[in-house]
Amino acid sequence: DGGITQSPKYLFRKEGQNVTLSCEQNLNHDAMYWYRQDPGQGLRLIYYSQIVNDFQKGDIAEGYSVSREKKESFPLTVTSAQKNPTAFYLCASSIGRSDEQFFGPGTRLTVL
């Protein structure tokens, strides 16, 4: 059963803590993406990776970090430097940069 998964579904964090969101895909896609979704706004790109061991900043990368050590995995760390981290985070993957993106179910992060 191929797909893209994210965990956890809900995550609570205290101010000042780093937290890592998981994203895994078994679609054999080269490209992976992280987006942030806030109410009433379109998805905004945080980071993307087109190949293992390589990733690029998106439009709102400040306060976030990623790694791409394996083709299947693209974890996102929300650091304490991110001033307003409460949001819905979506991970996506695609065969290539121009191809259809398949989205995971999302992680809702709340900072207490």
Footprint of another protein (CB under 8 A)? 4, 31, 33, 35, 40-45, 48, 50, 56, 58-59, 88, 90, 92, 97-98, 100-106, 108
Q: How far is the CB of 37 from another protein (least distance, A)?
A: 9
DSSP code of 70? Answer: B
Q: How far is the CB of 103 from another protein (least distance, A)?
A: 3
- Return the number of the residue (82 or 101) whose C-beta is nearest another protein: 101
How far is 112 from 109, CA to CA, in rounded Å?
10
Q: How many CA atoms lie within 13 A of 81 on its CB side?
A: 8
Q: How far is the CB of 13 from another protein (least distance, A)?
A: 19
- Structure-block tokens of residue 105: 């179910």
- Return the number of the residue (38 or 69) whose C-beta is nearest another protein: 38
Query: Does residue 8 have a cis peptide bond before it, meaning omega lies within 30 degrees of 0?
Result: yes
Q: How far is the CB of 101 from another protein (least distance, A)?
A: 8
Greatest CA separation for the chain = 38
- Return the number of the residue (13 or 108) whose C-beta is nearest another protein: 108
